[in-house]
Every structure is written in C-alpha cells, then in structure tokens.
Structure 1
C-alpha cells in the first residue's frame, strides 16, 4: 500500500512538472514538409499481398496540440494468385492531435480523402478514411523522425474493381521524417526592469525660532552665544551675564560681588575645555585711552 502511494505521488509530481514546463514553452507554428514510406497490409477482400508505397505531406502546426496536413500518396499491392496488382494514387487531409510537445511527441490522427485505384485494367475513384496513432522524435529543430500506424477504410462506389465488394479495409504503417521550414521560434524572455529606488525625501527646513540648542531660553535665531553653559544667567542675546558694578573711575571689586564671582570661577573650572570671552563697560566720561586702561584693569 505504501509503495503504491509513493508511486502515485511520484507520478503526479512528474506529470505536474512536465505540464508546467510545457506551459512555459513557446508555441512552434511553422509550416513543414513530411516525406514518408508506407507498408500496406490489405484486408482479405482485396485478394492481394502486402505492398509498399510512399508519399509527401505538407502541414502546419496550428497550436500546442493540433497539426493540419495535406498528404499525397502512391501504393502498390501485388495481386494474389491470378488476381492483378492494385495501383492506388490519392491524398488525404489529416488532423493530428498531439498529447504534448516534447522531444518525443505522441499523437492521434484522423484523415479523409480520395483515392484512384487501378486493378485488372479497370480504374475507379473512391473515398478513404483513416484513423491511427503515432509519434515524432525530434533530432534537430529542423528535423524530426515520424511514424504512425493507421486503419484505412476505402469505398470505391460501384467501380466494380473487385467482384463481390466495393469496400476494403487495410492497415498502413508509415515511416518518414518532418522538415519544418525556417528557424524554430524561441521563447521571448521578459526583460526585467529594476524598480527605481524611491526618491530621496526633501530636506526638512528647520525653523531656528523654534530651536534652542544650548537650552538657555533664547532661540537659535537670536542667540549670539550658541554654546552657553547650562544654568547660567543670560542676556536677551543668549550670552552669559555676570552683573558686577564698579564705582565711577575705579577698578576695585566690591566685596559684595565676591560670592557671585566665586560661583563663576567654579563653573568655569567644570568646563576646562571651553574658552571664554569677558566683556565689560566703563564710564561714559573720560578720554578713550583713559577708559581703555580702566577697562583692562577691571
């Protein structure tokens, strides 16, 4: 039971893979020529021995499963005993149905046509219908071996070629090759176009009026001292302010400012890597040189 289940699974998997591969193949729709030779095994009513013949077909692949082909043929049968030979010339229009297209491609065939038969000096035209099965085997894109076996029904419509009957039943075995015209179409490979990357986002325009990098309460637009130490008193321009007042024209720091200046020194020591600029003001009286000297002393 287990072996049967495994065999069924493998078979279904193989058929599924084969069908998928066939679905991906490009459809070959070329015209072709198909010369062939024929072995004929006549029915008993002909009173004839087996014979040989040949012919030529011209066909076209219609789609994945169907070929249409027009065939011309000639066959000769040697009569039995005193019965004369049979010479048959005619043609058929065939429809060939392929189960699938591959290197080995089996097919079923039906055909209808007409045939002119000469026998014992008399001749007559008749109808033929054929049905059978065969295969092609691809050796090259432009060369395939082909063989099929057919049952043939022949009605000569009162031509009186053989006493007692106008209907004959024969078997034919055909062997030949197929020559497609032109280059075999190839599958069109879809060009893969890579998806372009999304465009870079537009740069965000920062609003300095809403930013305060040094957290001193003065926005970046107005801040002239953008790296002020945290927690110190600043002016409206964001600069550190230490309010120390001197008496007019004096450079002596009053004791009341010592605690404030000690805090300034401590804060500066916390940030030894930073540099500082000290600015101050002098009296608005006196000469420029005098006030410059006073400013430096302070």
Structure 2
C-alpha cells in the first residue's frame, strides 16, 4: 500500500499544470539544493519518524533530463526496548525527468539507487548495518527567479537488505549556477546589449556538425527587418531542395546590394519529436542556408550567423498539418539603418522597431522623454500609409503572471493611443498585445536584466506600394 501511495503522489505532482513563463530548467546548469523534512521508517524497523536534513548536487543534461547526488541525515530513536538513539544516513544517485521545463512550475519524476546506514547508540539491541536502496518518487520546482527555485520532494526508499519501505518528504531551495545566459530574440527588434547565445542542447546519437564562424551581433541601430523564407525540408533532413533556391536568393540579392548589412538565419521546427533533437535539427537547417549563401552567392561568412530555435517559437497551431507546415520555417533577420529611401522601398516582409521606452513601476503613462522613440513608428507609418503594426508590451518578472500580462497590455495600448492621437494613424492599422514576462530576453535576477525585459516592440507589416 505504501509503494502505491508514493507512486500516486509522485504522478499527481508531475501532472500539475504549469504557468506560462520563460524556460527555467535549462541545460548545462549545475545546482545545489539544501533541504529538510521528515523520514518515516517501515513499522518493522521499530524506529520513530524523524526529521531529516540533507543536500542535493545536480546537473541538467538537457532541459528535460538531469542527474543528482543526494546525501541525507535523520537523527531518530527506537520505539521499543531501550529506545536509544539511531542515526540514519542515506546516499544515492538519482535521475530526474522534468515535465514542462519551459515553465516556472516544473514537476518531475525521480528514480535512483544508493545505500543507507543505521548507526545505533550503545545499549541498543539493534545492529549497525549498511544496505543497498532503490528510490522512486517525484516533486516540483517553482522558480522565483531564473536561478533560484523552491522545491518539494517525496521519495519511496526501498531497503534491499530487509525489504523495508521507507518514505522521505522534504522541502528546500535549489540554486542554479554555471551554464550560459539565454539568447536574445532576433525578432522582435534589436536590443541595446544582445545576450550571449543559448546553451547548446545535449548531444544525440548523430555527431555535431563543425561550428560555423559566428557573425558579430547586428549593430544596434534604428531598425531590423525579417524575411520569412518559404522553404520546406524533407523529414529529418537539412539540405536546401533545388526548388527553394530562389527563396534564398531573395536574401542574397539584398545582402549584395547593401554590403554593410548583416543577417541572422533562424531555423524553426514544428512540435513533432524531442525538444533537444528539434533544436539541433533547426540549427542544422539554418546552417545549411548560411552555407548556401556563402557557397553560391559569395556572401562573406562573417556577415552571417545561424541560430536554431527548435519548436520554441511557433507562429501557428501545431495541432493541424497546415500549422505545422507554417512552423517549419527559415527566417532571415537583417540588420540595417534603413535611412536610404531605396532601402525602405525594397523592404520585404516585416519590419521590427525596438522602442527604448521605460515606465514607472506599475504605471503605463508615457513620459515626455520617450515620445521621440514612439515618433520613429509614427513617422514611418505616416510615410508608408499601407503598413500596419502590432505594438507589443513586455515586462520583467516582478509580480504575478496575471498582473504583468494586464500591465504589459495597458502599456502597449498606451503607445497605440499615442500614435492615434499625435500622429493621426488610423486605429484600424494598429493592434496592441501584452506578453507579460512570458518572453524574456535577459535574466530577471539582476536589475539590468529586468530593465532589458521591460520593453515595447513595434512589429510592422511592410506592404509598401512602390
């Protein structure tokens, strides 16, 4: 009965619904997790339930899989006879499988093996002994910052020597360190201080392609724009098929005409398959397009970089075949100042303008010093009356998810209202969206990172009549 109870509790915890927040359980990070709680012994051991203390040291192989070493100590006493003290030690290695690692609430299952030692005080009829153990259970981590999580665990501990079934239940904190900072999104628009690339996903069976030289991050300027390439790939392949060479030529022609521009080639997939595998596949596909631009059009490799985002940035519903097809895409994010009217006339699909607009805490009033930033959008849309725009609001992670979602929408709506009232832009050409803290571009654990995450982006559809 006790085994069934532990398994049931573990699965119940694992199936909790996670909130919509940024990826928190990241690959390549180490963790230290001190904990305390209780330890209940099998009734046949005649040892009283005791407090337990310990520490876990872990490493995330991928966002989903991790390993931990665990050491625990429980100062207990016998329940019969002389009732002397009994010190219990457990030490083990466990594997963890995390559900919904991109959420702030991350349930997981755990299994492992190790040993337990009972040390009886003098005067006891019990004998000191050490036995092997198997452990099973689960828990949940709730990230209060990008590197700190509150954690709860339940474990069944099966003694291989005497077939005892014990239970350990604990709470604690997890501290993450090492790894790399999350990558800044290439769209929407450039940020003043781009973040380093995302941590590489864990290796799979096939070997990693030789890394390409990475172009410098596009220089922060006025604008960027995005070309979505209609390229389809064969299943599990990264070769650019001949019928799509003209799509790649669209990027090459623009880069040739404007040699000061640089480009980031992004690969995206649908949601079929493992997270880590899709991340690698999208990276290979982006690199394939980079290679094609270099080999067939003579574009300098230093002007290009490739990034794979796997299935993390869908633009359509993956529950339909049409939606999956839209999500299997390549995008070219090209950086240029766009001051030349000829360049504006040549704009392809979508223009992205990052607005350096800051708000007072919990406010959405537009301060006078930031009106010039909004004028960038107003002036552009006035000169190009066939364009439409989505104004996106983003926040840091201070406060609840619901509050930040509403706050980010109010800030986006404030910018829309300003464009309507001060530039005469028709409201039908504008829409506002709030994303709260669901799309961070930097760590929320520092003041600098939180400032980068509090932002307004304008995504403009460039249907410009010549």
Q: What TM-score do you get using the length of structure 1 for normalisation?
A: 0.52
Partner-residue secondary structure (3-state), 1:181: strand
Deviation at 1:28, TM superposition (A): 3.7
How many Å separate the matches in 2 of 1:59 and 1:198? Answer: 49
* Alignment root-mean-square deviation, CA: 3.0
Q: What TM-score do you get using the length of structure 2 for normalisation?
A: 0.34
Partner-residue secondary structure (3-state), 1:45: helix
Deviation at 1:148, TM superposition (A): 1.1
Instruction: Point out the structure with the larger strand share.
Output: 1
> Does the 8 A contact of 1:72 with 1:92 survive in 2?
yes
Corresponding residue number in structure 1 for 2:303: none
Q: List gaps (5 residues or longer) in structure 2.
A: 1-16, 187-217, 219-223, 227-250, 258-466
Correspondence for 1:171 among 167, 170, 183: 167
> Does the 8 A contact of 1:111 with 1:130 survive in 2?
yes
How many Å separate the matches in 2 of 1:169 and 1:80? Answer: 17
Q: How many aligned residue pairs are there? A: 173
Aligned counterparts, 1:51-130, within 5 A: 51-82=50-81, 83-101=83-101, 102-119=103-120, 120=124, 122-130=127-135
Alpha carbons of structure 1 residues 25 and 128: separation in structure 2 relative to 1, 3 Å? closer
Corresponding residue number in structure 1 for 2:181: 185
Correspondence for 1:131 among 121, 136, 142: 136
Aligned counterparts, 1:111-260, within 5 A: 111-119=112-120, 120=124, 122-156=127-161, 166-182=162-178, 185-190=181-186, 195=251, 196=254
> Does the 8 A contact of 2:96 with 2:111 survive in 1?
yes
In our comparison, the structure showing a higher alpha carbon Rg is 1
Corresponding residue number in structure 1 for 2:33: 34
Range with bigger deviation, 52-61 or 147-156? 147-156
Deviation at 1:85, TM superposition (A): 3.2
How many Å separate the matches in 2 of 1:80 and 1:94? Answer: 31
Aligned counterparts, 1:10-29, within 5 A: 27-29=26-28
> Does the 8 A contact of 2:27 with 2:179 survive in 1?
no
Write the deviation string for residues 270-298 of structure 1: whole angstroms up to 9, x where unpaired: xxxxxxxxxxxxxxxxxxxxxxxxxxxxx
Q: List gaps (5 residues or longer) in structure 1.
A: 1-14, 157-165, 200-298
> Does the 8 A contact of 2:69 with 2:92 survive in 1?
yes
How many Å separate the matches in 1 of 2:24 and 2:132? Answer: 39
Instruction: Point out the structure with the larger helix share.
Output: 2
Deviation at 1:182, TM superposition (A): 4.1
How many Å separate the matches in 2 of 1:134 and 1:172? Answer: 12
Alpha carbons of structure 1 residues 179 and 64: separation in structure 2 relative to 1, 3 Å? same
